[in-house]
Chains A and B, each alone.
Chain A
Amino acid sequence: MKIFSIKQILVIFVLVFSVIYSLPTFYSEVPSWLTSMNAKKMNLGLDLKGGVHFLMEVDLDEVVKTKSKKLSNDIRSQLRKEKIRYKKYSHQNNNIYIEFNDNSFYERTEDLIKTSYQNTFDINKININEMEITISEDALNELRIAAIKQNTTTLRNRVNELGVAEPIVQQSGKTRIVVELPGIKDTTRAKDIIGATATLEFKMVDEDSDAYAAEDSNQISFNAKLYYDDAGQPVLLKRNVILTGENIVDASSGFDRNSRPSVNITLDGPGAKRFSKTTDDNIGKLMAVLFIESKSEQRIINGESKRVTRKYEKIISLATIQERLSKSFQITGLDSPKQARDLALYLRAGSMAAPMYIIEERTIGPSLGADNIEKGKISVIIGLILVLVFMVYYYRVFGLFANSALIINILIIISIMSLIPGATLTLPGIAGIVLTVGMAVDANVLIFERIKEEIKNGSTPLASIELGYKKAFSTIADANITTLIASIILFIFGTGPIKGFAVTLSIGVISSMFTAIIVTRVLANLLYENKTNLKTRKLNI
C-alpha cells in the first residue's frame, strides 16, 4: 500500500481547492453544490464590466462655517435674553470675539457658555474684558464626522433611486466619498443626481416692513432678508425658518389641478407639529417656499485657484395661508416636470450636510469593458502558451513539472481572488497575472539551473535534485520577498486599478513560491525517487 507524504497531501489539497474555487470564473453555469461551498465568480472591476467611478470631495469648511454662524447667532440671542451687555461683538473666521465694559459680564458669559454648551467651545482670554470663543477640536471633529456620514447616507439613498445593481457608496479618507455605479449608461443623469444639492426652506414673509423701501435704502432689519420673486419684485422674508428639507420624510412629484408640475410632501412628527402650529397662527398671511441650490465653483482668489460654494436661493412659491396645513401638502412653482422629479428625489433621499463636488471621474462604456476582458484573456493565453512551449523545449520533463506548477499557480490566483471579499480583477490586475506567469517560472529556472550544475559537478541524479532545491531556496526566498515588498507598497499607496495590479502580483508571488518549490518537487520525486536505475540513467533536464 502506498502512503502519501505530507507534501503530496498538501499539493492534492491545494489542487482540489483551487480547481473548485476557480471553476465559477470559467463556467457561468455551475452546479449548486459549488455555490453552496461559497464558490463564486471573480469580481470584475469597473474597467472590465463598464460603469462609472466618482470621487467626491465633501466641503467640510463650509459645514464648519455654517455651524459656527448658527452657534454665534444662538449665543448672541442668549446674551440678550440674559441681559448681558457687551461693547463689541464680532464673528470672524469661525471665531467669536466679544468685548465687555465690565468684567462681571465677562465672567457671566464664560459661565453661560460653559454650562449651556459644555465642551463645544474653547474660551481664550484676550484681556480682562475681551474674549475669543472658538469651537473646540473635539466638537469640530464630531461635526465633520457627522457631516460625512450624513452625506454618505444621502448619496446612498439617491444612488438607490437610480436603480443600479450593486452600487458602492463609501467614505474614503477623511473628506471623500467614493461612488461606483457598475453598468450605468446615462452618466449625465448620474452626475446630476449625485452632484446636486437642492433643498427647500419654508419662511414667513415679513409684511410689517416695506420691501421696496428696504431695497432702496439697503436698511434691512436684523430679523429679515431680502429676496426677489419670479417677477423680480423684492420680498422680505423672516429669518426664522419654519421648515427645512430635514423635516421631510417623503416626497413625490406629480401635477396639480392646473397641470403644473408639483411636489407632494410628507413631514415627520416634529416638523408636522411645528408646521401646523405656525400655519394655524398665521392664517391670511403670506408664506414663501425657498428652493436652495448649492453649487461649487472654482475661482481665482489672490492668484490661487480655490473652490467656493455658492448658494442659489429662489422663491418658488409665495402664497397666502388659507387654512391650517398638516403632515402632507403640495407645493408648486417649479420650472419643469424634471425639476419637480429631481427635487422630490433629493427631498426623499434626505439632505446633504455639506456641499460636495466631483474631483475624479472614470467612466468605462460597456463595449470597452467587454473589449478589455477579451484583450486581457487573449494576452494571458498567448503569453502562457509561449512560456509553456519554451519551458518544455528547454527543460524537457522538468519543463513539464514547471508547467504544471505554473497552471496550478494561475488557478490559485483566480480562486483566491474570487474568495477574498472586495478583491476585484481589473485590467492592470490581468497584466499582473501575465507578469506573474513570466516571473513565476524564475524560481524553477533557478532550481533547474542548480540541478544542472550539480550534475556537471558529478553528483548523482537524485543528489543533484536534492542539492538543487536546497541551494536555490534562499535565493528564491530573498528575490520573492523583495518583489513582495514592492507590490505591498503599491497596494498601500495605489488607487483603483493599480491596487488591482498589486493584489494579483502579491498573490502571484506568494503562490508561485509554493508551486515552484513544492509542486515541482513532489512531481520530480514521484517520477524519480523509486527508480533504481537512476544511478546510471541521466536526468531528462
Chain B
Amino acid sequence: MRTIDINFDFMKWHKNAVYVSSFLILISLFSIFTKGLNYGVDFNGGTVIEIGFENNAPIEDIRNHLVENNYTKSSVQYFGSNKDLLIRMPNIVSSDEATLSNTLVAELNNKYSFSLKRVEYVGAQVGEELRDQGITAALIALLLIMIYIALRFEYRFSIGAILALLHDVFLIMGIFSITQIEFNLSVFAAILAVIGYSLNDTIVVFDRIRENFKSSVAENTDTISITNESINQTLSRTLITSLTTLLVLASLIFFGGEILFGFSFALIAGVLVGTYSSIYIASSTLLMMNISAKDITIEIDEEKP
C-alpha cells in the first residue's frame, strides 16, 4: 500500500498564507490595471493571418511589405517555428476590414509562395460582445456555484470557496498580464475550467471538515486542529489528482501545438494555484469567519428532531 503520510501543521501558517496571497493578488491587480492584458483578436477585434512556408519564412521582407503598403500598427512574428508566420492587423475604421486579409494575402501571393493556414477576423463590435459575454458567464458561474455550496454546506463555506476562486482567477490573469501571453477565448475557457477544478479541490477539503465537525461534537476539539486534520487527510488525494491532471496538461502543452499553448498554460497555472488556494485560502477564510463545529451540528439536530 503506497501512501503519502504527511502530518503537517498547515494551519500554523494560515495567516502568513493570507498575507502572501494578498500580496500576490495586489501585484496581479496592479499589473492588470497598469500593463493590462494582451488581448487577442477574439476580444479586441482585428485580423490574424497565419501563413506557412516550405523553408525559413522571409520575416523581414514581409515586415517591410507591411510598412511600405501602409498596414499601420500591424505586426509579424514567427509562430511555433521559423517556417510559420503570424501577421496581426488591428481593425481600421473606414476601410473594409473583412476583406483586408484577402487584399494582403493576394499581395503577398504575388511575391512569395506559401500556404494560407489560418485567417481570423473579428469585428470590433463582436470583440466587445465576446468580452461582455465572458464576464457575464464567469459571474453567473460563480453565483450559481456559491448558491449550490451555500445550500449543501453553509453560507460561510460558500464565501470561502468563492474567495479561493477569485484568488485563482486574479492570479492567473496577473500571470497573463505580467508575461503578456495572449489572452484569448481559449484562455478564458481554461480559466472557467480552473474554476471548476479548483472548486473540486476546495469541496473535497470542505467535505472532510464538515464530516470531522460532525464526529467531533462530543470530543470538543478546536476548530483549527479539525481543519488541519481534514487537510492532512485529504492531502494525498489532492496531490495525486493534481499530479494526474498536470501529467495530461504537460502532454497538451508539449504536443498540442501553438494554438493550445495559452490554454494549457492557463490550466497548469490554475492547477498549481488552485491546489494551494483550496488548502489555504478556502480554509483560512473559514477560520477567520469563526466557523465551528456547532454551526454544522445545529443543522443536523434540526433535521432530526
Binding site for B on A (CB under 8 A): 47, 55, 57, 187-188, 191, 195, 295-300, 305, 357-365, 367-368, 371-372, 375-376, 378-380, 382-384, 386-387, 390-391, 394-395, 427-428, 431, 434-435, 437-439, 441-442, 445-446, 449, 452-453, 455, 471, 474-475, 478-483, 485-487, 489-490, 492-495, 497-498, 501-502, 505, 538-539, 541
Contacts and interface: CB of A to CB of B under 8 A. Distances in A.
B115 A428 contact: no
B204 A446 contact: yes
Interface stretch (B13-21, B221-229, B246-254): B246-254
B106 A188 contact: yes
Interface residues of B, number: 81
Interface in B48-87: 50, 52
Nearest to B95: A298
Residue of A372, A395, A483 contacting most chain B CB atoms (<10 Å): A483
A494 B118 contact: no
Contacts of B115: 365, 367
Given A371-B257, A375-B256, A383 B251 contact: yes
Given A357-B98, A375-B255, A441-B241, A365 B248 contact: no
A303 B137 CA distance: 31
Contacts of A375: 255-257, 260
Interface in B211-267: 211, 233-234, 236-237, 240-241, 243-252, 254-257, 259-260, 263-264, 267
B196 A362 contact: no
B111 interface: no
A505 B197 CA distance: 11
Q: Which 3 pairs between the two chains have the least Cβ-Cβ distance?
A: A383-B248, A493-B137, A383-B251
Given A386-B248, A478-B152, A486 B195 contact: yes
B298 interface: no
Interface class of chain A by DSSP: helix
Contact of A435 (B130, B234, B245): B245
B245 A361 contact: no
Given A367-B52, A383-B249, A493-B136, 7 more contacts: A358-B123, A375-B256, A383-B247, A441-B241, A445-B241, A489-B192, A498-B186
Interface class of chain B by DSSP: helix
A534 B197 CA distance: 37
B26 interface: no
Contacts of A481: 148
B159 interface: no
Contact of A394 (B2, B137, B211): B2
Contact of B199 (A446, A474, A479): A479
A310 B52 CA distance: 37
A322 B234 CA distance: 94
A475 B52 CA distance: 49
A384 B122 CA distance: 35
B133 interface: yes
B102 interface: yes
A375 B261 CA distance: 12
B207 interface: yes
Given A55-B126, A501-B189, A541-B1, A492 B137 contact: yes
Residue of B195, B197, B252 contacting most chain A CB atoms (<10 Å): B252
Nearest to B99: A191
A427 B260 contact: yes
Contacts of B105: 188
Contact of B93 (A300, A363, A383): A300
A376 B256 CA distance: 6
B163 interface: no
A379 B204 CA distance: 28
B193 A486 contact: yes
Nearest to A476: B204
Nearest to A385: B251
A486 B30 CA distance: 27
B67 to A, nearest CB: 23
B189 A479 contact: no
A439 B245 contact: yes
A386 B207 CA distance: 29
A435 B117 CA distance: 27
B119 A362 contact: yes
Contacts of B192: 486-487, 489-490
Nearest to B205: A475
B264 A493 contact: no
Given A367-B115, A379-B252, A431 B263 contact: yes
